[in-house]
Amino acid sequence: MLSIIDARTGDPVPARRGLTRVEAHVPGYDATALRVLLVADVLVRALEIGGTQVWTLLGAGRDRAELRAAGAALGIRPFEDGGDTGSGPGEGRVVHVVSEGGAAPDGVRVAVAPVEPADAFEDAASTPGVLAGADPGDLRLALLARRHGLPVRLDAAALDDAHDTLARWRRAVAGWARQPSKPVPDEVREELRSAWEDDLDVPGVLRVLRQVETADLPEGARFETYAYADRLLGLELTRDLGTLA
């Protein structure tokens, strides 16, 4: 069962099967705000994989349109406006996803460490430097590569590494898909779930995929493993199916 660490108390909080409201809180549009939205998106995916019904809300002081557009480009599913959090589909637990040190109402909090440099992503259309025009998939993977409680630095090396990994994995998945499907091995499925259920340890999920990439497994099992993990990661790992000659 998914368990997250409440940033207020330091205690683990197990997920519930009933309705859970996930609220992402950001002051405005910058790189750290996008990371907050991405962590909230992964949290929602993990809860839904575990059978929890989720209602998502965005609390932003400004730049909502820019946040929504950038989030959509990164594959983050839409969040409703969080103006009136007192209404919605019934009562349930509330989990607030906030930037480290950010304000939020009382309740369980997931704290997200900053992106360094945090001002490098103000406007992808006009910002000079390495992040301007970055591929959304590469950027999503680069932001997922460290645990949400640790700062992440986005530079040319980080984005190049993410690009190379994502291209290699998509190409491999497309090749594995040409072989008969095989189920995800039980021990691999357990490793994946143990990672993401441990306070959203996405880097742990990525480590399992790197092991599976070269493991002595049927190609059909490797394909199904990557497709299964991508329900959490949202990296479109099956995007290139049917493109190999």
**pLDDT score for 166:** 97
Strand partners, 115: 152
**CA angle, residues 204, 210, 216, in degrees to nearest 5:** 125
Amino acid at 12: P
Round to whole Å and give the CA distance between 241 and 91.
Answer: 41
Spatial CA neighbour of 152 closest among 118, 123, 129, 121:
118
**pLDDT score for 214:** 94
**pLDDT score for 128:** 33
Alpha-carbon separation of residue 46 from 84, 180, 198, 241 (angstroms): 25, 28, 11, 25
Map out the domains of the chain as residue ranges: 3-153, 161-233
Q: At which residue do the structure tokens 């998914």 appear?
A: 2
- What three-state secondary structure class fits 142? helix
**pLDDT score for 86:** 46
Round to whole Å and give the CA distance between 155 and 139.
Answer: 10
**pLDDT score for 245:** 58
Report whether 56 contacts 69 (CB < 8 A). Answer: no
Contacts of 55 by beta carbon, 8 Å cutoff, 6+ apart: 19, 20, 21, 22, 80, 88, 89, 92
Largest Cα separation within the chain, whole Å, is 55
Round to whole Å and give the CA distance between 62 and 180.
Answer: 50
**pLDDT score for 87:** 47
Q: Which two tokens stand for residue 222?
A: 């490797």
Round to whole Å and give the CA distance between 223 and 129.
Answer: 36
pLDDT one digit per residue (tens) for the chain, 245 residues:
899 999 999 999 999 888 999 999 998 888 899 999 999 999 999 999 999 999 999 988 788 888 888 899 999 999 998 754 444 555 578 999 999 877 777 789 999 999 986 444 444 433 334 456 789 999 999 999 999 999 998 888 899 999 999 999 999 999 999 999 999 999 999 999 999 999 999 999 999 999 999 999 999 999 999 999 999 999 999 998 878 65
CATH topology for 161-233?
Four Helix Bundle (Hemerythrin (Met), subunit A) (1.20.120)
Report whether 129 contacts 120 (CB < 8 A). Answer: yes
